[in-house]
Amino acid sequence: MTIRKILTAVFAIAVSLSSAQAASGNATAEEATAMVKKGVAFIKANGKDKGYAEIMNRQGQFTDRDLYLVVYGMDGSCRAHGANEKMVGKNLIDLKDIDGTPYVKERVEAAKVKANFWQDYKFTNPVSRKIEPKQMYCERLDDTIVCGGIYKR
């Protein structure tokens, strides 16, 4: 087998694995990072009211399979939530995951010292409806934190 055939086969396998992940409903870390950056840019360009409304639009540009955006104030209050609008307006600083991790508090503390970061915790996947390990990418924007995460099955 020639090098060209081997590389073609490796490329075909990589594409099929990537397609399988997308078909399974799993967003990637790269997609989460890109969506958060896009959300931050959208809020900067259009203002918080329009930005938050678009984040909460489940048919909008900030919802893709199991990937959606969430915006928190630096006090832990939820300003926008792409998967659960009932959280908006509530202070979630004391929320803990199934393992007792105070993930909103951790997120706020990290945002005080970092412009962007990744965070691990467990959360209910809106596609599978199961509690799964999740990684959340967050960026600080003025007095808020814009986040989007991926589920690791």
Angle, CA 114 vertex, CA 119 and CA 67 arms, to 5°: 40
Amino acid at 134: K
Residue 7 lies in a domain: no
Structural domain count, the chain? 1
What CATH number should be reported for the domain holding residue 56? Answer: 3.30.450.20
> Per-residue pLDDT for the chain (153 aa), expressed as one digit of tens each?
554 433 233 333 333 333 334 445 689 999 999 999 999 999 999 999 999 999 999 999 999 999 999 999 999 999 999 999 999 999 999 999 999 999 999 999 999 999 999 999 998 888 888 999 999 999 999 999 999 999 986
Residue 20 lies in a domain: no
- pLDDT given for residue 126 in this prediction: 82
- pLDDT given for residue 11 in this prediction: 36
Q: Which of 152, 138, 151, 143 is nearest to 37 (CA)?
A: 138
* pLDDT tens readout for residues 40-51: 999 999 999 999
Domain around 142: 27-151
- pLDDT given for residue 152 in this prediction: 85
> In the chain, count of helices (H) and strands (E)?
4, 6
Long-range contacts, 96-99 (Cβ 8 Å, 24+): 97/121, 97/122, 97/123, 97/131, 98/122, 98/131
Question: Which residue matches tokens 């009211």?
Answer: 49
Residue 1 lies in a domain: no
Residue 55 lies in a domain: yes
Residue 81 lies in a domain: yes
Residue 132 lies in a domain: yes
Residue 22 lies in a domain: no
* pLDDT tens readout for residues 88-97: 999 999 999 9
